[in-house]
Amino acid sequence: MNGFIPLHKEVGMTSFACVAAVRKIVKQKRIGHGGTLDPDVDGVLPICLGVATKLVNRLQTMPKTYTGQITLGFATDTEDLSGQEIARERIQVPMTNDQIDAALASFQGDYEQTPPLFSAVRVNGRHLYEYARAGESVERPRRLVHVYQFSRTTEPVFDAAAGEQTFSFTAKVSKGTYIRTLASDLGTRLHVPAVMSQLTRQSSGGFQLADTVTIAELDDAAAADRLNDYVQPIQAVFTDVPHYDLNSAGWERVQHGNYLKIDRPAKDGDELFLRYRGDIQAIYQYAESSHTWRAELMLLHEVEEKE
């Protein structure tokens, strides 16, 4: 099978475990996912099948949307509830809505973020979490991310006994953004420790939570020989990229990676998804210098030729 399965990852599972479970159900080796989710996070995890694994990087560059909760008053070493508490400052007077909203809004746009120590980011060939577990210090690389939206969605709840304040939020962010770090950095701007206390990924890779299927549902579908009902074709995801249907002569050239001359308006760097017999076979890019379309990424589905 080739295409995407928008999986609903459940809390407690790693993204790797989800891929392994789907691989067992669909009985094929060539499978990947379009963006890691922490075990404590649920939500949309796009699964890529067959030639669609070549498009993982494209899925990951799409903005992602999350909903969750942030608690002010304490912090952990993992920046979420799975870690050990490292700071606590009782909130005596609750933050006002205006204070919280102004701090949230201040993150919109480009923002330089330091990934959490307990993360899969690599430094000198090792994951940051490996340094953390070994108790070794390491300089974490800062990187520029983009926050499209970061806003409060509920009235904050103040727990006077615990000295904590919690509210729900929604965030739309670019590739590589850690929401738990965003929560921690929000606390810094509010001058109190903070932690991400719940998170759900609502959209990723062009899929919404309403589009997803659970592993149990996939298992049932496999038993009923209905797996194809849950596999989305490549063209259903990349709807913003124009498509072009090849004739047999064009298909022959594409199979050998040859350039094409196509009579359509284009500017340098434009992309075109090339289809043959209903399947996307390649992504070509326009070269203005030669007025030709040239291979950028080859997918090459198997084609059953008609007699």
Active site residues: 38
**Angle subtended at Cα 197 by Cα 204 and Cα 188, rounded to the nearest 5 degrees:** 95
Per-residue burial over 255-268, b = 16 or more CB atoms within 10 Å of its CB, e = otherwise:
eeeeebeeeeebee
Per-residue burial over 222-236, b = 16 or more CB atoms within 10 Å of its CB, e = otherwise:
eeeeebeebbbebee
Residue 176 CB contacts under 8 Å (≥ 6 apart), including other chains? 143, 145
DSSP state of 54: G
Site of tokens 């070269």: 287
Q: How far apart are CA 127 and CA 80, in angstroms?
A: 18
Contact 293, 287 (CB under 8 A): yes
Q: How far apart are CA 167 and CA 165, in angstroms?
A: 7
The H-or-E segment that residue 72 falls in is strand 64-72
Residue 161 CB contacts under 8 Å (≥ 6 apart), including other chains? none
